[in-house]
Structure 1
């Protein structure tokens, strides 16, 4: 069986809605990889280094990226744990010498006086609004206190991407009512929860900071698409955030939630309704994405309330330390299916990287117009003032950031672009117009803490006619790495290379992973302070564990750690059945790691089972393993038994 035979079954994100003729990353990689060197053998899979773009096509590989400063002793690598083997068990697996404890599963009351979780799913919408939401995803930890105290207590802020309506309601989703829509909205959004070590164990504790931001919470807009913009005028006041995938954390102490597959919640009861070209570019359809909310709530009916959908697709800023504050949608960062919003600083200015998670889409970055501290001193939000760019990758290893700025290039009034607000409302079409490079589902972005190299996960994709590498199709995904010019993340040019190809060499000889470290569909990604690169996977449940899809050696979704200096990679954690591993945060002392387990027990082809209202535990009963209960997304606390640094 070859890689071409193991294409995952259709997932909405795997279906491109990009009709542009822009060059694809795979076409560029074909030319690029014929001129690169790869470290091979064992588990060392990273690219040897960046090709000097100024040296011309065909030049040899440049020197490897500088090693992280002060990491390891005597040249040793960063990974000091025994790798976990693949697993298909319905439990969490971590390395020897580590513990994994469940914290704040779906339905946990945010107050000790709050409504208790009901395992038959009979909690109301009002209950759910006071409980931890479902489908945990991106996450940040905000320390409360300086020094060691800040590693023992803090605010854990996490996204809730979507809901499984079969498990959310006692009788499933065969009939959708307004009450069910309200509960589903309450299960979406963001949770702010104070957690602390109590008698040596992490627990949720009562706090004035504990709160929920849901699909019904009042919100406002800032930036070029302001609250008075005609495109935002709808039948209700602006409210809610939906399908929050990954996240970001600003240097001024706020949280960024990112709206991804927001199009799925909308449909039209009028069968004659048709999407505009702009709406079709975002995958909007009258049939909707299966939630059927538009049948019970006119807020989500495209025909009855056409502008409501324009209120989604943004990055949302939330102040976790101000419980009464209103979440703000920062429109200068563009309207796409935001996978995340990874924040770094360069020359005092804020830089935000974000992928648009759909096959054939692009990767973007926002660069602040001035040092963020100066802007805040003027009472200006740094995320409202700057330029949004989209990436173009060239076949000689160079790349450019193309500005999405009204009046620049093709984005003029003469070409139908009214103003900067129009550019941002139609960000995908603006990126098409300037000639951005299509990618295989661009997901999370991570920035190295020392050398500021940037890493992007590409989960999987159609392959876009590539003949060499990545694959056509690309069922396993890969990770791209680039270095901005002179290490300045505000720069408009960069050099890029492939960090690794995911997959299984038993099915694809191009993969250089050792058999014990194979994985597929990299999704979540991030660095710890020592420079370990943590990689989380999201193999589709239609593909997971299936030999006919080339995934029988990979097991359940997992989390791995890589040493970018040596390229070594090891599996660190394996999740229960039917889940995705996504979202992580590390306490300042690096002795506690928080990891999210999303949608355990979701319908999984390999198990030939799907949860039903009568049998919600058909695939998984994690974490409660209660025959009368149901699977629940949850945060897991990872620690070493000896109290040491995670991963070392």
Structure 2
């Protein structure tokens, strides 16, 4: 997830809108880990608690765990052992994309690429129209998934999100003026792209296909689940349309794609004198100002005073069938309305489980469990994402945790306390989570589930912090990764045990961090497992901090992607991105020989490198084309080994 307002000196997600008295996770960590301790070594970041990483945890508890002792005892000290067999890439601040020795990186489908042959060509002066943008790859790529269509996996559908737009780069004149045409162009640059790609001798290519389509901010949508499309709180002007701020994503066992609406509040504003947000609007961060977008000035759809219920149509998880180009995307309301950063789907006892983080400082992590095995529901033509229970996590200071149900009539969610029904609970999910006593977190983002043991990993990218002698910090500028194991390894269970997997940061600025030059990093964000069990970690250091010594980020450099072996806890830097960019979104081919990642917002305004202007859009970066008359473009990158081997080896 990136900054909601491109060029803003402050990331809005660093500022909490949670005024509840619920206990913060940092308080829990302080009490627990100050007495139990965490092993954090130069090559390893391993929890020494219930989830101790195999041999390493045992060595840590027995010896105190120096880096050399722990790694050697675990049998994973050198290159060529364990899951990580590549040479780590050094941190850097160059305007380029760096991958390990023996690897290649191919730029694929940058922003503005026509999704079909003969479609409107990309214009490097940003003069493409709104109608043309609707037929092109959107801006600021994010979460994605590859759906193979061939037996070998060399042909398939790549489905990817487009989170937001940079007004300086999207328009010829930047945001100097606002018009309906410009609003529509921005809407069409958001959303999701579905494109067919295939691999040939020369690399991967975009292919013409009946499946290729754009889903954007003006695309017709429908609602399903407890909150029906006819619900009074969705009764805005005009039909239901559009998906916005599409951050991370997921995919279902039945072959569909789910995309997450994150910072939807930033698109709504008003010039009406005296307007103030009501309690629910305030809880979600809605305010009068929507700079730099200011869509409300040209499109009343986004005027929060004139059309307040339009905002309630956003903040959902949206299901898309990539293999049915005529299908209407569905907003699955049983998963709740928050700033969804992720929607990680797994299966347990035949049921689907969906984990989702609410990406803002002081927010929560949620879990949805289907009411029955998903095959049984689908056999009755029911969606498994419409029928089930939404829970929110409470972390206890003894290393245990509980999933609290967000169900009308249970606990404080009763009519006597002002709740109307289950639809009301889901529309006001944050307030419901406040009421049941969920644990505040430092910007909960992506979730990954280990393919073998079903352990769950959650990135907490940074936050204000609320104390903690070991981890996390107050404030917590570098972030960390939390890991938990559901009872009996069953992801439908209602209790779990948790521990800390990764404490990010730079030891030069924080002596409690024991990472080394091959793995120092900050602000973990994107995360996911490959089939072999490697954990891939992507970072989203804010451009207000990136490369700055004053923020403790000069040694860490540009945003990056790292790989980890959870069995040993070892982490190595795999790639480093260009200036101003976030590394986000990832998927891998079935043979694990083609890794797709996204480079989002290269060239965005940074405190370290400067501020682009319409006259000089290349002030920070000119990646990937380095055209002296062009501009930086977000893009998908395909990474392969030169010898054709498995990625990470």
The TM-score, its normalising length taken from structure 2, stands at 0.94
Q: Does 1:353 align with 2:355?
A: yes
Q: Describe the superposition over 1:221-245 as per-residue Cα deviations: whole angstroms up to 9, x where unpaired.
A: 0001011101111111000000000
Q: Describe the superposition over 1:189-221 as per-residue Cα deviations: whole angstroms up to 9, x where unpaired.
A: 000010001334100000000000000000000
Secondary structure of the 1:516 match is: coil
C-alpha contact 1:138 1:159 (8 A) present in aligned 2: yes
- More moved, 330-339 vs 264-273: 264-273
* 1:8-407 aligned within 5 A: 10-50=10-50, 76-146=81-151, 148=152, 150=153, 152-407=154-409
**Pairing partner for 2:505 from 500, 503, 507:** 503
Whole-angstrom distance in 2 between the partners of 1:137 and 1:559 = 14
Q: Which residue of 1 aligns with 2:546?
A: 544
* 1:532-571 aligned within 5 A: 532-571=534-573
Whole-angstrom distance in 2 between the partners of 1:108 and 1:75 = 39
Q: Which runs of 4+ in 1 moved over 3 A?
A: 37-41, 71-76, 465-468
Secondary structure of the 2:308 match is: coil
Shift of 1:166: 0.8
C-alpha contact 1:50 1:61 (8 A) present in aligned 2: no
* 1:578-589 aligned within 5 A: 578-589=580-591
Shift of 1:516: 3.1
Secondary structure of the 1:137 match is: strand
Whole-angstrom distance in 1 between the partners of 2:294 and 2:123 = 25
Whole-angstrom distance in 1 between the partners of 2:297 and 2:648 = 49
Quickly say closer, same or farther: Cα 1:22–1:289, change in 2 above 3 A.
farther
C-alpha contact 2:457 2:482 (8 A) present in aligned 1: yes
Would you say how many aligned residue pairs link Structure 1 and Structure 2? 623
Whole-angstrom distance in 2 between the partners of 1:83 and 1:467 = 31
Whole-angstrom distance in 2 between the partners of 1:258 and 1:616 = 29
Whole-angstrom distance in 1 between the partners of 2:262 and 2:398 = 32
Whole-angstrom distance in 2 between the partners of 1:452 and 1:73 = 27
Whole-angstrom distance in 2 between the partners of 1:436 and 1:399 = 10
C-alpha contact 2:165 2:190 (8 A) present in aligned 1: yes
Q: Describe the superposition over 1:493-522 as per-residue Cα deviations: whole angstroms up to 9, x where unpaired.
A: 000000010000111111121133210000
Shift of 1:73: 13
Tell me, which stretches of 5 or more residues in structure 1 are unaligned? 1-7, 53-59, 63-70
C-alpha contact 1:48 1:61 (8 A) present in aligned 2: yes
Whole-angstrom distance in 2 between the partners of 1:73 and 1:502 = 22
Quickly say closer, same or farther: Cα 1:237–1:278, change in 2 above 3 A.
same
Secondary structure of the 2:142 match is: strand
Whole-angstrom distance in 1 between the partners of 2:339 and 2:132 = 29
The TM-score, its normalising length taken from structure 1, stands at 0.94
Secondary structure of the 2:621 match is: coil
C-alpha contact 1:352 1:365 (8 A) present in aligned 2: yes
Shift of 1:36: 2.9
- More moved, 226-235 vs 346-355: 226-235
Secondary structure of the 1:157 match is: strand
Whole-angstrom distance in 2 between the partners of 1:479 and 1:377 = 38
Whole-angstrom distance in 2 between the partners of 1:344 and 1:37 = 31
Q: Which residue of 2 aligns with 1:598?
A: 600
Q: Does 1:612 align with 2:639?
A: no
Quickly say closer, same or farther: Cα 1:61–1:487, change in 2 above 3 A.
farther
Shift of 1:39: 3.3
